[in-house]
Amino acid sequence: MTDKTIHFISLGCPKNRVDSEVMLGVAEREGYRHGAAPDGADVIVVNACGFIDAAKKESVDTILAMADHKATGRCSRLVVAGCLSQRHPDELAAGLPEVDHFLGSSDMLALGSVLRGDADRMLVGNPADWLVAAESPRRLSSHAGSAYVKIAEGCNRSCSFCVIPSLRGKQRSRRIPDVVREVEELVARGVKEVNLVSQDTIAYGRDLPAAESRELAELVHAVAEVKGLAWVRIFYLYPEKLSEPLVELLAEHPRVLPYVDMPLQHAADAMLRRMKRGHGGARLRKVVDDLRAKVEDLVFRTAFIVGHPGETDTEFDELCEFVAWAEFDRVGVFRYSDEETSHSATLAAKVEQRVATTRYKKLMTMSRRIAKKKNQALVGSELDVLVEGASEEHEAVLAGRHRGQAPEIDGLVYLSGTESLERLPKPGELVRVKITQASDYDLAGEVTGFLSRATARRAGPARGESAKVGARGAGQRISLRVLPTDNRGVS
């Protein structure tokens, strides 16, 4: 076994996590084994988020903490990759002499040259130069049975508060056969749940040449038809009218989960205009109404920004009224921060931070009450649950997720009653659970039996199942762990 070790920390969104897993695959091809802790690693990689001020601060703090291991531990090389490097390459290079190499948001494969020792310090390239593919080296680090699959990169929108197009480039969609091949390889390695992600998922395929243009529904259907897959979940839909074929898949396909992640950002017409969202509050109400009417047991996750320049008390009240009306299952709330290259940063009528914080707390409190009510309504029902393994909070207790809980973003189901079973449920296995307790965030229940892929049911509990709201969705810090699989293809 090689004695060269590498440790990864992935900050930010699930899309970053996919990039980190590709770099982990590159490292293993170069003969490195993964180290679970930074103090024993020869190389440390921080895949840093640069989206908003809070994420940038967390990233820099993490980089500095990892730099300490160069002085006190085994680490001889510190690498920073991702959106933060893409956005501020020169400033980081000057301000962080402890960092040996910088990679941008599309330079995942360049880690190979870094590990071989023949790379320059600055390796930040064009953000539009790369798109993950089925043949990309990738080692999964998520819980057993689950994986994110990135279906496109970049974004063509021009929302006033967002800098993603400058960090990730214009939209670039993968071809359907390539995505399906990756999913087939994942399923062959035990994955039962695939979470489809991109920056603007509803726009999938629109950037492809006319002869190859595809709709999102075509991709989702092709993925859902992969033999052996149990759950397909869709993330990051833009709030526009969804095609009838896509709604039908959400409503009827046995493996497409009735789970919609659609960041709405606000509800007041004037605010949506300032944000350059291209629609008003009436469209949002229609989208919510249509989905609730057509998709039974729909779980609706969304996100809002408070404290954006120009947001008045009246407009914030309108947002609160909208949230109270819609009763979303999951809500993430973000406090606005000026991003120097965004249009919003140039707007007058800045909202004081103390006001933004007050609004944040009010909206989160309201959303938490809604979530608690919906969670409590699940007590007594039976749910299909994907087992993740031992819980972080209670080592002796197993935890998993039902179909309305996305990995590491929503809540968990804590499992009891396993001592009466013929064997202990395994990570990545589907079980049937009777819910006995509910909190604001999580559920607890007794395992009543095991499920095969064939017997896993589409039908869920009464509409509105809910769990953790907002607390896990604002961003993720993950020290990557390695699943016990080989590294052929995507592993």
Per-residue pLDDT tens digits for 14-32: 999 999 999 999 999 999 9
Task: Determine the pLDDT at residue 396.
Answer: 73
- Tell me the C-alpha distance between 375 and 442, whole Å: 8
Residue 473 falls within a domain, yes or no? no
H-helix segments, 30-175: 53-72, 83-87, 89-95, 111-116, 164-168
Q: Is residue 315 domain-shared with residue 420, that is, in the same domain?
A: no
Kindly state the percentage of the chain with pLDDT values over 70.
Answer: 91
Q: Is residue 371 domain-shared with residue 387, that is, in the same domain?
A: no
Please give the backbone phi and psi of residue 285, each rounded to the nearest 5 degrees, phi first: -65, -40
Residue 93 falls within a domain, yes or no? yes
Average pLDDT rounded to a whole number, residues 382-403: 90
Average pLDDT rounded to a whole number, residues 57-74: 91
Among 376, 410, 432, the domain-final residue is 376
Q: Is residue 114 domain-shared with residue 93, that is, in the same domain?
A: yes
**C-beta separation of 333 from 356 below 8 A:** no
> Quick check: 56 pLDDT over 50?
yes
Mean pLDDT score of the chain, rounded to an integer? 90
Residue 247 falls within a domain, yes or no? yes
- Tell me the C-alpha distance between 359 and 440, whole Å: 20
Task: Determine the pLDDT at residue 420.
Answer: 84
Task: Determine the pLDDT at residue 144.
Answer: 84
Comparison of pLDDT for 454 and 27, the residue scoring more? 27
- Tell me the C-alpha distance between 294 and 432, whole Å: 26
Q: Is the pTM of this model over 0.95?
A: no
Domains: count for the chain: 3
pLDDT in tens, 192-242: 999 999 999 999 999 999 888 899 999 999 999 999 999 999 999 999 889
> Quick check: 464 pLDDT over 60?
no
Residue 283 falls within a domain, yes or no? yes
> Quick check: 344 pLDDT over 60?
yes
Domain that holds residue 216: 146-376
Q: Is residue 347 domain-shared with residue 432, that is, in the same domain?
A: no
Task: Determine the pLDDT at residue 204.
Answer: 97
> Quick check: 489 pLDDT over 70?
no
Q: Is residue 358 domain-shared with residue 244, that is, in the same domain?
A: yes
pLDDT in tens, 253-298: 999 999 999 999 999 999 999 999 999 999 999 999 999 999 999 9
Q: Is residue 372 domain-shared with residue 387, that is, in the same domain?
A: no
The string of DSSP codes covering 283-342 is: HHHHHHHHHHHHSTT-EEEEEEEES-TT--HHHHHHHHHHHHHH--SEEEEEE----TTS
Confidence of residue 480 (pLDDT cuts 50, 70, 90): low
> Quick check: 437 pLDDT over 90?
yes
Q: Is residue 302 domain-shared with residue 358, that is, in the same domain?
A: yes
Comparison of pLDDT for 66 and 479, the residue scoring more? 66
Average pLDDT rounded to a whole number, residues 383-399: 88
Confidence of residue 457 (pLDDT cuts 50, 70, 90): very low
Angle (nearest 5°) at CA 201 between 171 and 487: 85
Residue 469 falls within a domain, yes or no? no
Residue 487 falls within a domain, yes or no? no
Confidence of residue 470 (pLDDT cuts 50, 70, 90): very low
Task: Determine the pLDDT at residue 478.
Answer: 57
- Tell me the C-alpha distance between 429 and 387, whole Å: 5
pLDDT in tens, 288-335: 999 999 999 999 999 999 999 999 999 999 999 999 999 999 999 999
Q: Is residue 217 domain-shared with residue 351, that is, in the same domain?
A: yes
Helix, strand, coil percent content, the chain, rounded in steps of 5: 35, 20, 45
Supply the CATH number for residue 80's domain. Answer: 3.40.50.12160
Beta strands 476-479 and 430-438 are unpaired
Which helix or strand (DSSP H or E) is residue 274 part of? helix 269-274
- Tell me the C-alpha distance between 352 and 309, whole Å: 9
pLDDT in tens, 72-125: 878 999 999 999 999 999 999 999 999 999 999 999 999 999 999 999 999 999
Task: Determine the pLDDT at residue 474.
Answer: 40
Task: Determine the pLDDT at residue 340.
Answer: 84
- Tell me the C-alpha distance between 357 and 12, whole Å: 21
Instruction: Considering only CA atoms, give the Rg of the chain.
Output: 22
- Tell me the C-alpha distance between 277 and 344, whole Å: 12
Which helix or strand (DSSP H or E) is residue 227 part of? none
Q: Is residue 246 domain-shared with residue 324, that is, in the same domain?
A: yes
Confidence of residue 445 (pLDDT cuts 50, 70, 90): very high
> Which residues are within 8 A (CB) of 244 and not within 5 positions of it... i.e. 6 or more apart?
none
Q: Is residue 351 domain-shared with residue 206, that is, in the same domain?
A: yes
Least confident piece of the model among 106-115, 437-446, 453-462: 453-462
- Tell me the C-alpha distance between 327 and 342, whole Å: 31
**C-beta separation of 158 from 333 below 8 A:** no
Q: Which of 50, 146, 31, 44 is nearest to 104 (CA)?
A: 50
Supply the CATH number for residue 426's domain. Answer: 2.40.50.140
* SS3 of residue 25 by DSSP: helix
Please give the backbone phi and psi of residue 127, each rounded to the nearest 5 degrees, phi first: -65, -15
Among 309, 341, 376, the domain-final residue is 376
